[in-house]
Chain A
Amino acid sequence: MWSWVLHRITGTAIFFFLLVHILDTTLIRLDAAAYDAVIGTYKTPIMGLGELALVAAIGLHALNGLRIIALDFTRWGVKHQRLLFWIAIALWIVLMLGFAPRHLMHVFGGM
């Protein structure tokens, strides 16, 4: 049940980011300076943490989504659905351990 709740919450968050992200990227066609100004706000510490949360949400949604597909199409998946949930969580932790330091160095590292 919690994987179902998480899937809905992360999906909604990603959807609203996608709406904003398509609109901000539209500036690339209209005005280079305006695009640079808006994308500059993505490099601030607060937005940097926001990007970390976004990637965390995308990672959870993607890994749990693959788990759902395994449940839908294989008997094996249904039998081991609980194990698959924890495997998804484990892979998500590995993903975030790889991404978080790298991203935080980009955002907070001296440049």
Chain B
Amino acid sequence: MTTETIQPPRTAARARKSTNWEKWGWVYMRVSGVLLVVLIFGHLLVNLVLGEGVKAIDFAFVAGKLANPFWIVWDTLLLWLALIHGANGMRTLVNDYARGRLRVVLLVLLAGATVVLLVLGTLVLTTFDPCIGDSQIDALIEACAAQ
């Protein structure tokens, strides 16, 4: 009788090669959470606290902000980080409270709404046109008339 090669006992199992998406989701919630504390409180400070607060917000107010690339970057980060953070949180709730077909329907709706709003919001921020407004700012009236 010949002895075949026998695997030694207690050999470590080969590590899984696949990406652990749940872990990265968990990490994302914490990293985006910290960034969102800064981005959202900055957003609230500028839009609701400083100056005349909510009463000052209109087309001209937003056009003034979006004339500065700083706010386009800020708002785009806010859009992506917040919507994905929120959608992933809602995914957790759906997985906890919904079963069977309802769960699948809700997850599909959630993913669909998230993708549509990310695309829509990004388009709004990157293609914003201050000239569609009825501007009272002389420099803007001139610039828009020149177009």
Is chain A's interface secondary structure helix, strand, loop, or mixed overall? helix
Q: Is the CB of B117 within 8 A of A48?
A: no
> Are A36 and B36 in contact, CB atoms less than 8 angstroms apart?
no
Q: Among the listed stretches B9-17, B49-57, B99-107, which one makes contact with chain A, having 4 or more residues with CB under 8 Å of it? A: B49-57
The listed residue (A36, A43, A55) touching B59 by CB distance below 8 A is: A36
Is chain B's interface secondary structure helix, strand, loop, or mixed overall? helix
* A106 touching B83 in the complex, CB below 8 Å, given contacts A29-B127, A65-B33: no
Say whether B132 faces chain A, with CB atoms less than 8 Å apart.
yes
CB contact between B133 and one of A18, A32, A51 (< 8 Å): that residue: A32
Residues of B within 8 A of A77 (CB): none
B42 at the interface (CB under 8 A from A): no
Would you call A35 and B59 a contact (CB within 8 A)?
Answer: yes
- Contact across chains for A8 and B93 when beta carbons are under 8 A apart: yes
User: Residues of B contacting A12 with CB < 8 Å?
Assistant: 89-90, 93
Q: Across the interface, which residues of B come within 8 angstroms of A68, CB to CB?
A: 30
Q: When chains A and B are docked, how far (Å) is the Cα of A106 from the Cα of B51?
A: 9
Residues of chain B contacted by A19 (CB below 8 angstroms): 113, 117
Within 8 A of A (CB), among B48-105: 48-49, 52-55, 57-59, 62-63, 79, 82-83, 86-87, 89-90, 93
A32 to B82, CA, bound (A): 25
In the bound complex, what is the Cα–Cα distance between A12 and B86 (angstroms)? 8
Is A28 a contact partner of B128 (Cβ separation < 8 A)?
Answer: yes
Partner of A11, one of B79, B89, B113, B128: B89
Q: Which residues of A contact B48 (CB under 8 A)?
A: 51, 55, 99, 103, 106
